[in-house]
Amino acid sequence: MRSFAAVATAAATLGAAGTTSAEDDYEESGTTSVDPESTGGTAAEDYEVIEAAGQTITIGDGEAWENKLIDMTTGQDIVITAHGSEWTVRNIGFKGENTSGTGSATFGISDGAGGTSTVENVYLGDGSSDGNGNPNGHGQTAFWVAPDHSGHIDFKNVNIQGFADNAIYASAPGNSGGGTIHIDSCFAANCYVSHYRLATEGSKVTNSSVYVDNEGYAGRGIWAWSPGTVEVEDCQIEMNGHHTAIDAGANGQGTNVVLRNTDYDADGGIAEHAGSSVQLEDDTGTDPEAFVPAGTPTSPEEAAAGSN
């Protein structure tokens, strides 16, 4: 079994972002100028530092919320909501583990007006502690997509690790709003319940990886809910036998999944429930090597600076 360090090394070899490319030191409030030499950029970039203090930040229709470093070392929670249309979340880094124990979703999102919204270049790799006051008893979720989502959301270059509940929980629209999700060039590791959870026709995961080892939570790789079909293409699902790689169907309702040019863990394998079907196409195999996709941030400062 490879260590996460080996995954990070492989990412560097493949040309992905390095471990830290923005300055480690930053002011406790206001904005920070980032040395362009440390980011590999051509000009200095600023980002705002926000201390988590139990607040909720709401993103409106057409709004771009970007270049923020969220300081989670306060031990408090922060919730970001976006339920309008055509909004953008970009260049956001969370520094420190979420130890608030609230059991919330860090992001609660949807596009409720049939538009297209975007989540891009986000680092949530410091994870969360387990246990919480939420009735589900699991812990923090990174992204929760609300049932009435009727538009489309693109996730690109998002890094989520060590969350005590789902990384991207986007199956709820399957029996309600019917909106679609595209997860592209993302990395998720060692999260509980599932890493990528989808349901609707037209939703897909591409050019992305899931990695689970014995260093954190062990949830499903990809969990597909009704009605489907959910597409998975050019992905690496490396579970090291800790949980199911592709889990199709839930709550007595079947779904369909199509895998193309994807490697998944044979020990974790595929599970088909309630008449579900997982179809293997193209060069799909069982020799996964998870990687951090090129352009995906590997530190909070790198994400906040937008240095990719």
Q: What is the pLDDT of residues 92-141, one digit of tens each?
A: 999 999 999 999 999 999 999 999 999 999 999 999 998 665 556 668 99
Report pLDDT for 132: 61
- CA 116, 154, 142, 80 torsion-angle sign: negative
pLDDT tens track for 86-101: 999 999 999 999 999 9
Report pLDDT for 13: 38
Note down the domain range covering 105: 4-305
Report pLDDT for 9: 42
Report pLDDT for 45: 56
Report pLDDT for 215: 87
pLDDT tens track for 255-278: 999 999 999 999 999 999 999 999
> What is the distance between the alpha carbons of residues 31 and 271, in angstroms, rounded to a whole number?
48
Contacts with 186 (C-beta within 8 Å, 6 or more apart), sequence order: 155, 156, 157, 158, 159, 160, 168, 196, 205, 208, 209, 293, 296
Under DSSP, is residue 233 helix (H, G, I), strand (E, B) or coil? Answer: strand
Q: Give bridge partners of residue 230 from the DSSP assignment.
A: 257
Contacts with 25 (C-beta within 8 Å, 6 or more apart), sequence order: none
For residues 285 and 20, the model is more confident at: 285
> What is the distance between the alpha carbons of residues 20 and 199, in angstroms, rounded to a whole number?
35
Q: Which regions of 176-303 does DSSP assign to beta strands (E)?
A: 180-184, 187-189, 194-200, 204-206, 209-211, 220-228, 230-233, 236-238, 246-248, 256-260, 263-264, 270-272, 277-281
Tally of domains within the chain? 1
pLDDT > 90: what percent of the chain?
80
Q: Which one-letter amino acid corresponds to residue 144?
A: W
Q: What is the DSSP letter of 128?
A: B
The mean per-residue pLDDT over the stretch 232-247 comes to 97
The mean per-residue pLDDT over the stretch 35-61 comes to 73
pLDDT of 30 over the 50 cut: no
pLDDT tens track for 191-214: 999 999 999 999 999 999 999 998
pLDDT of 307 over the 60 cut: yes
The mean per-residue pLDDT over the stretch 154-181 comes to 97
Report pLDDT for 36: 35
pLDDT of 180 over the 80 cut: yes
Report pLDDT for 130: 81
Min mean pLDDT across 30-34, 174-178, 209-213, 302-306 is at 30-34
Report pLDDT for 139: 83
Do 106 and 141 contact (CB within 8 A), yes or no? yes
Q: What is the DSSP letter of 283?
A: S
pLDDT of 11 over the 60 cut: no
> What is the distance between the alpha carbons of residues 290 and 211, in angstroms, rounded to a whole number?
6
pLDDT of 254 over the 70 cut: yes
For residues 251 and 38, the model is more confident at: 251
Q: Which one-letter amino acid corresponds to residue 44?
A: A
Please name which of 153, 139, 145, 114 lies closest in space to residue 219, comparing C-alpha atoms.
139
Three-state secondary structure readout of 166-210: CCEEECHHHHCCCCEEEEECCEEECCCCEEEEEEECCCEEECCEE
Report pLDDT for 15: 38
The mean per-residue pLDDT over the stretch 18-32 comes to 32
Instruction: Look at the block and give the residue holding tokens 């992305």.
Output: 208
Mean pLDDT of the chain: 87
Confidence band, pLDDT 50/70/90 cuts, at residue 308: low
What's the pTM value of the predicted model, to 2 decimals? 0.88
